[in-house]
Amino acid sequence: MLKDSLKKELATAIETSILLSPKSLSSMDLAKRILESEKQLVEQFQESWVLERLSWMVSRRITEIHRIDENQYLLPGFERLPRRLAIRGHRTFLRDANLDHLKSYREILSQKQIRGWKAKMEPVDRLIDIIIPYDKKQHGITVAQVMAAEKDKQE
């Protein structure tokens, strides 16, 4: 990363600029002044700063992607559903839930009417609509089984 001597040199340049600038100057304007007056010094930092920022952005995106359950990827549009459904004191993994679980979860959502409850019910309703035909053929079929069948249909 950055050498301590470079960090100290930049800190000195920043402090000097702050002390010599009017107090009403915004931090963005002050940063622009430093960039103009200390171009050579700033150039030594550019690659390191860009890499740090890109690394941070990549890390956040990796976390977001891995946070979404792989089974939910099989049916796009269901990423907002929780991985586990809280139903009458029990928690059931979404992938293990069946039609009865989804209907119970939907009922709980409608009773709570918490902020954003309609937006939370929309994907549940869509998933219920997908599962109903499968459940008629095989009562108790799970979300994971339906997702796999839907994926096979698409291929």
30-73: per-residue pLDDT in tens? Answer: 999 999 999 998 888 888 888 999 999 999 888 776 665 554 55
Instruction: Identify the domain containing residue 145 by its residue range.
Output: 70-154
Question: What would the mean pLDDT of 14-37 be, rounded to a whole number?
Answer: 93
Q: Of 39, 67, 95, which one is at a domain's C-terminal end?
A: 67
Q: What is the pLDDT of residue 71?
A: 46
Counting the structural domains of the chain, the total is 2
pLDDT: is 26 or 82 the higher one?
26
Arithmetic mean of pLDDT over the chain = 85
40 and 76 co-located in one domain: no
Where among 52, 67, 82 does a domain terminate? 67
pLDDT at position 30: 93
Q: Does 106 share its domain with 143?
A: yes
Banded pLDDT at 22 (limits 50, 70, 90): very high
Question: Could you tell me which of 99, 91, 78, 51 has the C-alpha nearest to residue 151?
Answer: 78
Q: Are 84 and 97 in contact (CB under 8 A)?
A: no
Same domain, 74 and 145: yes
Do 77 and 126 lie in one domain? The reply is: yes
* 148 & 80 share domain: yes
Residue 75 has pLDDT above 70, yes or no: no
**Mean pLDDT over residues 84-92, rounded?**
87
Q: What was the pLDDT predicted at 115? A: 67
> Which of the pair, 140 or 71, is modelled with greater confidence?
140
* Residue 112 shares a structural domain with residue 75: yes
Q: Is the pLDDT of residue 20 over 50?
A: yes
- Is the same domain home to 111 and 46? no
Output the pTM of the full model: 0.52
| pLDDT value, residue 142 | 94
